[in-house]
Amino acid sequence: MNIDTGKIRRLRDALVKGGRLAAAQGEVSGSSDDRHLAAVQRVSPMVEVMYLMMAIDGDVGEDERASIQGALKLLTDGMVSNEHLDGMLADFDTLARQEGVEARLQAIGNKICRDRLDRETAFSLAAAVAMADGKVAEEESLLVTSIAEWFGISTRRCDELLSSF
């Protein structure tokens, strides 16, 4: 599956830029109110999919991390701090090591299976993370395919998501 498309490059660029801005600005709102908790619960599956993509090739780059920071900033309107993201990523790393990537994809798919938009958003964000460093490793390409399969996204719909903006 070719994820190196204009749409994914534009998404990647926006996420990396947003992540670098969030990192440069330091702390964003880290309040623990109900809205914060709801925001974290809503985006956690998407962030985990992005984490899995970032880590799959064993080469975690600054741009990949910045793209996740940028996505989190956009998805939560800046409600989740970089420190909270660090904790989330550490938790996702532990889960992936204990259960394996495929088991995590199945678990995430079960969490977001009812919402087509969430599944497609997670897929698109993962593709953007794969492109963050300007190259797509074979492991990343295979993971994109696995994500589509676990999330029930057809090949035709994947092509639409990856190529249209």
pLDDT in tens, 141-165: 999 999 999 999 999 999 998 886 4
Return the DSSP state at 122: H
The set of residues, in sequence order, having a beta carbon less than 8 Å from that of 6 and lying 6+ positions away, is 163, 165
pLDDT at res. 7: 58
Run of H or E including 151: none
Per-residue pLDDT of 26-57, as tens digits, reads: 444 444 567 777 778 888 999 999 999 999 98
Distance from C-alpha of 6 to C-alpha of 52, rounded to nearest angstrom: 23
Measured from the Cβ of residue 96, the count of other Cβ atoms closer than 10 Å reads 18
Instruction: Break the chain into its structural domains and give their ranges.
Output: 6-163
pTM reported for the whole predicted model: 0.79
Q: Which of 80, 74, 62 is nearest to 124 (CA)?
A: 74
